[in-house]
Amino acid sequence: MPHRALLAAALALAAFAVPASVTAASWTYTDGSGATLTLDEVPTRIIASADAAAGLIPLGIRPVGIYADSPVADSKPLQGLDLAGIEIVGEAWGEIDIEKVAALEPEIVIAEYWPLDEAWSGGETITGPNSPLRALAPVTGPAVGDSILTLIEDYEKLAESLGADLAAQPIADDKAAFATARAQFEETVAAKPGLQVLAVWAAPDALYVAEPTGAAELMDFQRWGLDIITPEVADDRGYWETLSWERADKYQPDLILVDDRAASTLETALAQPTWTTMKAAEAGAVAAWPAFWLRNYGAYAHALDDLTAAIAAADENLVD
C-alpha cells in the first residue's frame, strides 16, 4: 500500500477510536460550593436565578428562563435589564413553575451559593438536592462572598466560558462608569473621616442591624473607607442583630442606610414611634442601602453615585 494511503488509513482509524466526548468542545466549571461540573458541550439553554441573570445579561449571556424571589416588576437585581424573550418561571421565594421549566429544555441552572446558609438561590424547594429542578438540569454558579466586585469578576469568568465577549463596548462603558463612581465614593468618604454609618432592615416586630461581614457590598464599602458600625451580636444567622423597637437607639450613627429591596422597609421604619430615637433618623439622615442585589458594574455605579451623594450631605458631627 502506498505511503499516503497508509497514512490516511491510520488517521481515519485514530479518529474513529477517539471518544466523542474528547473531540467535542466540553465545558467544565467549578462552582461556589467547590463542586466541579463537566458537560459535553458549552451550555446555551440556561435557567437563571434573578441575581444570576443580573450578573450575566449585561455580559451578553441571556438565559431562556428566570426565577425570582418576588414579582419581576419589583425585583431589584432585574431592574433596568432587557428581559424580552425570556420566560419568567417563578416570582415568589421557593416557588417555580416546573412545567414551564421543562418546556424550555434547560441544559443548566445558574444560581448563587450562599455559604452562611449552605444553600443555593431559591431555597430548598427550588435548588435543594431533592428538588424537581435538579431532575431537569444541574445547578451551579458562583458563591456570594465578601465582595460584590469579586462576585462580578466571577460572573465575568463564567460568562466568558459561556461565550461572552468581555471586550464589547457596553461592558467597557459599564466598567468605566463603575471606576469613576468608586473613585468619587472613596474621595467623598475620605473627606469625612468621622462619619459613622449603620445599615438596617426594618420589620414590624423589630429593627435588624446588619453585620457587615454578612453583606458583600458593605464589606466593599468598608474596604473603600466607610466606617460602618458592627453590631455586638449577629444573632440572626450571622447577618443581623435583632433589636426590639424599644431598643432602636442602641446605636447612634451619623447616617442610616435602609435595606432598599422593598419600599415597604423604609415605610415600616417611619411608622415606628421609636425610629426617631436615633438622631440620624430624626435629622432625616437616611439613605438607601443596595442590600444583597448588586450583580453588575452598571447597577453598582448607580448605587455608588447615590450613596456618595448621601455621604456628602451627611453631618459627620451629628452624634458626639
Looking at the domain assignment, is residue 7 inside a domain? Answer: no
- Predicted confidence (pLDDT) at residue 56 exceeds the cutoff of 90: yes
Supply the pLDDT for residue 19: 37
Indicate which CATH number applies to the domain containing 188.
3.40.50.1980
- Domain of 308 in residue numbering reads as 170-313
Spatial strand order of the sheet with 108-110 comes to 87-91, 65-68, 46-49, 108-110, 139-140
Same domain, 302 and 181: yes
Q: How confident is the model at residue 24 (pLDDT cuts 50, 70, 90)?
A: low
Same domain, 141 and 193: no
Measured between its terminal Cα atoms, the distance across the chain in Å is: 96
Q: What is the pTM of this model?
A: 0.90
Q: 196 CB contacts (<8 Å, ≥6 apart)? A: 227, 228, 229, 253, 254, 255, 316, 319
Q: Supply the DSSP string of 120-182, one letter for each residue.
A: ETT-HHHHSTT-TTTTTS-EE--B--S-HHHHHHHHHHHHHHTT--TT-HHHHHHHHHHHHHH
> Which amino acid would we find at residue 188?
T
Same domain, 175 and 309: yes
Using N-to-C axis directions, what is the helix angle for 169-190 and 297-313, rounded to 10°? Answer: 20
Write out pLDDT tens, residues 212-229.
Answer: 999 999 999 999 999 999
Looking at the domain assignment, is residue 186 inside a domain? Answer: yes
Q: How far is CA 124 from the centre of its chain?
A: 18
Same domain, 76 and 154: yes
Q: How confident is the model at residue 299 (pLDDT cuts 50, 70, 90)?
A: very high
Percent of the chain exceeding pLDDT 90 equals 89
The tally of domains found in the chain comes to 2
Same domain, 160 and 175: no
Output the CA angle 199-306-166, nearest 5 degrees: 105
- Would you state the cell numbers that stand for residue 35, as one nine-digit string? 463542586
Percent of the chain exceeding pLDDT 70 equals 92
> Whole-number mean pLDDT of the chain?
92
How confident is the model over 223-242, as a mean pLDDT?
A: 92
Supply the pLDDT for residue 75: 95
Supply the pLDDT for residue 269: 98
How confident is the model over 287-309, as a mean pLDDT?
A: 98
Coil vs helix vs strand at 311: helix
- Predicted confidence (pLDDT) at residue 13 exceeds the cutoff of 60: no
- Cα dihedral 97, 74, 240, 294 in deg (nearest 10): 100
> Which amino acid would we find at residue 7?
L
Q: How confident is the model at residue 320 (pLDDT cuts 50, 70, 90)?
A: confident
Using N-to-C axis directions, what is the helix angle for 297-313 and 148-161, rounded to 10°? Answer: 170
Q: How confident is the model at residue 237 (pLDDT cuts 50, 70, 90)?
A: confident
> Which amino acid would we find at residue 68?
A
Write out pLDDT tens, residues 253-291.
Answer: 999 999 999 999 999 999 999 999 999 999 999 999 999
Write out pLDDT tens, residues 173-205.
Answer: 999 999 999 999 999 999 999 999 999 999 999
* End-of-domain residue from the set 113, 138, 165: 165
Same domain, 261 and 143: no
Same domain, 237 and 208: yes
Beta strands in the chain (DSSP E): 27-30, 36-39, 46-49, 65-68, 87-91, 108-110, 113-114, 119-120, 139-140, 196-203, 206-210, 227-228, 240-243, 255-259, 286-289
Supply the pLDDT for residue 23: 39
Q: How far apart are CA 46 and CA 195, in angstroms?
A: 44
Looking at the domain assignment, is residue 208 inside a domain? Answer: yes
Same domain, 68 and 99: yes
- Measured over the CA atoms of residue 68, residue 72, residue 77 and residue 78, the dihedral's sign is positive
Q: How confident is the model at residue 294 (pLDDT cuts 50, 70, 90)?
A: very high
- Would you state the cell numbers that stand for residue 29, as one nine-digit string? 466549571
Supply the pLDDT for residue 25: 79
Write out pLDDT tens, residues 81-101.
Answer: 999 999 999 999 999 999 999
Supply the pLDDT for residue 9: 41
* End-of-domain residue from the set 165, 190, 209: 165
Q: How far apart are CA 15 and CA 272, in angstroms?
A: 74
How confident is the model over 295-314, as a mean pLDDT?
A: 98
Supply the pLDDT for residue 218: 98
* End-of-domain residue from the set 165, 181, 201: 165
Q: How far apart are CA 297 and CA 171, in angstroms?
A: 8
